[in-house]
Structure 1
Amino acid sequence: MCFFWGTIKVRPRRETALAFNFHQLHIFYTVAERGSFSAAAQALHMTQPAVTMQVQSLEDHFGTKLLIRTTKRIELSEAGHALMPFARRGIELMRETDAAMSRFTDNMAGRLMLGASNTIGEYVLPRLLVPLGQRYPDMKIMLKVMNTTQILDEISRNQLDFGLIEAPVEHPDMTIKPVMQDELKLIVPAGHPLDELPRITLEDVLNYSFVLREKGSGTRQVMEEEFIRHHMDLERIDTVMELGSTGAVKSAVEAGLGITILSPSSVKHEVALGLLKVLDIQNVSFQRQFYSIHLKSTLLGIPSIAFLQFLQEYSLT
């Protein structure tokens, strides 16, 4: 019987944490959400071969196919369906981590591309630029004021980092979160009879003509929903004019053409000049929420997260 003595070398098992990384998981998730490698590459600002290679590396690690390539669309395999909830949780955890750590860093250099709907973009954000600039002097903001449909379109095409809108929307590719609260008020011209009343009821208001934003606007929607909540027939509103911008509504009210419901943020200048008055209607509250919106498959950078946190801290009143 012969015995052979020698050294047996055992290769250490590679740690799982080093076998794949969050970047690959994020790429896989984006491909699955977008339905194609080319769309994911555009969203991630990568080349298509680079995206394909990272997904293949992830599949090699797990030893199974995660995506099924068809002629029309990428579909998830059974293993891919099992991985998706973990990928989604990982992305959310990274966002929460960025949010938690953003307040500890002063490095906010970079340019934010954001879109905002009319009231937010024209009357709310301009007031915040000075305190925002004082807190983050290296942050540069490129703002586009547009309607919600346009904001969604530009976010989908990666032309905007995120958007700020006045009413919630449902979109399968978007994450929507509340960021600020606002309350609309009754706006009347200086010297209006309603300003002489000790208290103003909804019935008092309905005795006068209204100048309103166009149907479908966020401001008009909030007003009508509150009136309906008080069991008021909207046909009772004597609407003498419907206008497509808040600025036009303000000018018409100032000229004495009617009264309106607007955000006090939009009339601060006119109130300071004594041209308009902001009044309360007894037991009526036109509360509304502003929302941020961005692609689910996009990880917001620390400057974007810091900006949104700043909005949540700021009071409009």
Structure 2
Amino acid sequence: MNFHQLHIFYTVSERGSFSAAAQTLHMTQPAVTMQVQALEDYFGAKLFDRSSKKIMLSEAGRTLLPFALRSIQLMRETDQAMAAFTHMLEGRLLLGASLTIGEYVLPRLLGPFGKAYPHISIMMKVMNTSQLLEEIHKHQLNFGLIEAPVSHPDMEIEPVMGDELKLIVPREHPLAGKDEVTLAEALQHPFVLREQGSGTRRVMEEQLLAKGLDPGAMRVVMELGSTGAVKSAVEAGLGITIISTSSVKHEVALGLLKIVNITDASFKRQFYAIHLKSTLLPISAVTFLTFLRDRAGDL
């Protein structure tokens, strides 16, 4: 018995067939079948009931399953613990990122990562969460980084870094002369917001609901599909907004926009990494995620 066989057994159980497991593991179906049979020979017991079209775990398989899962979790923990010591890694990472993360958070971290691990190349796609999940499911991406948690039966999700949304106003706005305002004061003004369903919009609306306020009562003069478009509209004086502070550092430094603290509300959130449960991330990907966690305070 070895870890590889346990991983294959777990994947067959999760995917419900040898052919689906073979696709997930990038193996041939006969190779998957052979490894499961080797595990069955080792234990002297059948692990699957193959009498129906969809294979089912036998009693022995149901007993083995939690141990196989623990072995996978232990391997992931081992990779995370050893990631700090791996400095000569090579490889290519294929990752996806939602808009705010891909456009404003990761670019300032990719440089330091590239210096620390010069032999790892990164290809990043910036897309919405649904597209990202689809590409991970098709094995076109190793993992993704998203702005809000999602529930998916095939996906593992974990927090990797924190972020905070703040009130952003143009330099000529009446609120620009203040360092802090109440939520009620802010809501008296027209807003330019991200589109419905975006992670940024969701975090803001959840906080308003927690305060007993109706997000639908906001004076929203414009909804835009990217953070860059929202910033441009605010800079042009069309309204104020609530977006990630990591996305406005350049404009704040130039004096084009100002961050104003809201005294009675906090719009904090987590960014999450997501990948297939049945897939072990390459050590280069684990190292990258560990790097993000360690550098989260630099955002």
Structure 2 length as normaliser, TM-score?
0.97
State which structure, 1 or 2, has the greater radius of gyration over its C-alpha atoms.
Answer: 1
Q: SS in structure 2 opposite 1:103?
A: helix
In structure 1, the residue matched to 2:43 is 62
Q: Is the 8 A contact 2:190 2:239 kept in 1?
A: yes
RMSD, matched Cα: 1.2
In the TM superposition, what is the alpha-carbon distance from 1:228 to its structure 2 partner?
A: 1.6
Can you give the 5+ residue segments of structure 1 that lack an aligned partner in the other structure?
A: 1-19
* CA distance in 1: counterparts of 2:22 and 2:260, whole angstroms: 52
Q: Is the 8 A contact 1:182 1:316 kept in 2?
A: no
In structure 1, the residue matched to 2:17 is 36
Is structure 2 residue 175 aligned with structure 1 residue 194? yes
* CA distance in 2: counterparts of 1:312 and 1:72, whole angstroms: 44
Residue 229 of structure 1, aligned match among 210, 220, 227: 210
Is structure 2 residue 298 aligned with structure 1 residue 282? no
Can you give the 5+ residue segments of structure 2 that lack an aligned partner in the other structure?
A: none
Is structure 2 residue 68 aligned with structure 1 residue 91? no
* CA distance in 2: counterparts of 1:316 and 1:182, whole angstroms: 11
Q: SS in structure 1 opposite 2:157?
A: strand
In structure 2, the residue matched to 1:132 is 113
Residue 149 of structure 1, aligned match among 130, 150, 157: 130
In the TM superposition, what is the alpha-carbon distance from 1:80 to its structure 2 partner?
A: 0.8
In the TM superposition, what is the alpha-carbon distance from 1:260 to its structure 2 partner?
A: 0.3
Q: Is the 8 A contact 1:133 1:139 kept in 2?
A: yes
Q: Is the 8 A contact 2:97 2:126 kept in 1?
A: yes
Q: Is the 8 A contact 2:149 2:272 kept in 1?
A: yes
Count of aligned pairs between the two proteins? 298
Q: Is the 8 A contact 2:170 2:176 kept in 1?
A: no
Q: Which amino acid aligns with 2:130?
A: T
Residues 231, 114 of structure 1: CA spacing in aligned structure 2 closer, same or farther, 3 A cutoff?
same
Q: Which amino acid aligns with 1:277?
A: K
Matches of residues 1-317 of structure 1 in structure 2 within 5 Å?
20-70=1-51, 72-197=53-178, 199-314=180-295, 315-317=297-299
Structure 1 length as normaliser, TM-score?
0.91
Q: Is the 8 A contact 1:181 1:316 kept in 2?
A: no
Q: SS in structure 2 opposite 1:284?
A: coil
Q: Which amino acid aligns with 1:243?
A: L
Q: Is the 8 A contact 2:178 2:260 kept in 1?
A: no
Deviation digits for residues 21-55 of structure 1 (CA, Å, limit 9, x no counterpart):
11111111111111111111111111111111000
Q: SS in structure 1 opposite 2:106?
A: helix
In the TM superposition, what is the alpha-carbon distance from 1:97 to its structure 2 partner?
A: 1.0
* CA distance in 2: counterparts of 1:269 and 1:49, whole angstroms: 55
Q: Larger deviation: 65-74 or 108-117?
A: 65-74
Q: Is the 8 A contact 2:83 2:290 kept in 1?
A: no
In structure 2, the residue matched to 1:17 is none
Q: Is the 8 A contact 2:179 2:261 kept in 1?
A: no
* CA distance in 2: counterparts of 1:207 and 1:100, whole angstroms: 50
In structure 2, the residue matched to 1:9 is none
Q: SS in structure 2 opposite 1:221?
A: helix
Among the aligned pairs, what percent are the same residue? 67
